[in-house]
Structure 1
Amino acid sequence: MSDGSTPRRVRHPLVGLAVVGVSLTVWWPAFTLGAWGQLFFDQVLTVWVAATATFVVVAFQPRPSPHRIRRLIALAIPSVWLALSFAGRPGGGPILVGIDALAFVIAIAGVPFTSWVLARIFWPDFGDGIPRRIVALGLAVIALMVVASFVLGTQQARFLTCQDFALSGNSNPPGCVDATTGR
């Protein structure tokens, strides 16, 4: 800059959009884990649907992708979990615990990963030129939203009632407070 003015900051609006989008998708699984102590099947199956659809898009992309095989393997993990769930239910035991642990990882980590892959498909240059500190800040905000949502779930009796859960079509989590009795 020869005119003496300060250089303009480069803006990355898509990073903000990605952070908001991923935060919106991970808050409910984190909240339910806090409130009910478990993830609901529909949350994990939602990740499976998104990952499977993204798998098909990545597999049949007309242009070459340098990380296609790694993405396909990662996107197949929810389908592997689903297949293992069919195989592991009758006997239970340690295999079932492992399958449930994989479901937890898929629900929490699968959403951000699938979102990232989709963003890179539709905006191939998304992420290019973004400083690591901006990426780290975005990941930190998402992690903060997950932790805050989990804590809100554990503290739901302080600001929600059983009627709130019933009205929204959910079952009552342990410890919810009845609006009429306060207990």
Structure 2
Amino acid sequence: MSEARASGTPVDKSHDRDDAKAARIAGVIVVGMCAAVWWPAFTLGAWGDFFFDQLLTIWAAATGAFFVVVFFGRSRRRWWRAAALLAPSLYLAANFVVQPDASDVATLVVAVLGALVAVLAVPTTVWVLARIIWPEFGEEVSPRRRLVVIGVVAFVAVASFLLGANQARFMTCGEFTLSGNSEPPGCTPDSVYDD
């Protein structure tokens, strides 16, 4: 029996409750970020691109979060967050300025920016929104747990990309068609499994 219990001194369980609360917050953030990042990463692997609806969804969420950070943020670091949330808008603006030309270096820069938006802007947007909705995430969640969140989301993003790149090993062309998607290059024809 512990010394505190033996002496009749009450045991302070507030630390345990705070730790459990921080774990729940980190868990919600992990699940939200993973749910948001898997599809863009998968499409990047399967089709070598991400779809316009993903781009515009990322842009809409990031733009909304940008205005929340600018107008309602109180942190001194809010300008860094606001700048990070501008990445999708910068990508869209670059597409208006740079004309598509396969041999042009500017086109390559825009393509790289697009890939970064696809893979980095989604978790960044979710992270910033989480910090706005749950300020405790930054205050109560330890740096170690934040690293775990980042690590898990990075793992899911890389795994989703690899699943997309290797979709022919476990999916058929018909599954993509049935779900309303186009068939990615190299998908496995349904007839392979019809024997």
Structure 1 regions of 5+ residues with no counterpart? none
Give the structure 1 partner of residue 149 of structure 2: 138
Q: Does 1:89 align with 2:91?
A: no
| 2:91–2:113 Cα contact (<8 Å) kept | yes
User: Secondary structure of 1:3's partner?
Assistant: helix
Q: State the 1:67 CA deviation.
A: 1.7
CA distance in 1, matches of 2:12, 2:85: 44
Give, as a single letter, the amino acid of the residue that structure 1 aligns with 2:65.
T
Q: Which residue of 125, 128, 133 corresponds with 2:136? A: 125
String of CA shifts for 1:57-97, please: whole Å, max 9, x gaps.
22221x63322222222212211111111010255511011
TM-score, normalised with respect to structure 2:
0.84
User: Secondary structure of 1:163's partner?
Assistant: helix
Give, as a single letter, the amino acid of the residue that structure 2 aligns with 1:82.
L
Give the structure 2 partner of residue 66 of structure 1: 76
Q: Does 1:100 align with 2:111?
A: yes
Two-structure CA RMSD over aligned residues (Å): 2.2
Give the structure 1 partner of residue 62 of structure 2: 51
Greater Cα radius of gyration, structure 1 or 2: 2
CA shift in 2, pair 1:91/1:150, >3 Å: closer
Identity of aligned residues (%): 45
CA distance in 1, matches of 2:107, 2:169: 34
Q: Does 1:2 align with 2:13?
A: no
String of CA shifts for 1:71-130, please: whole Å, max 9, x gaps.
222212211111111010255511011011111111111111111111111222222132
String of CA shifts for 1:112-151, please: whole Å, max 9, x gaps.
1111111111222222132222111221111111121112
User: Secondary structure of 1:127's partner?
Assistant: helix
Matches within 5 A, 1:153-164: 153-164=164-175
Give, as a single letter, the amino acid of the residue that structure 2 aligns with 1:24.
A
Give, as a single letter, the amino acid of the residue that structure 2 aligns with 1:116.
W
User: Which 10-residue stretch deviates more, 105-114 or 34-43?
Assistant: 34-43
Give the structure 1 partner of residue 90 of structure 2: 80
Structure 2 regions of 5+ residues with no counterpart? none
Which is helix-richer, 1 or 2? 2
Give the structure 2 partner of residue 34 of structure 1: 45
TM-score, normalised with respect to structure 1:
0.89
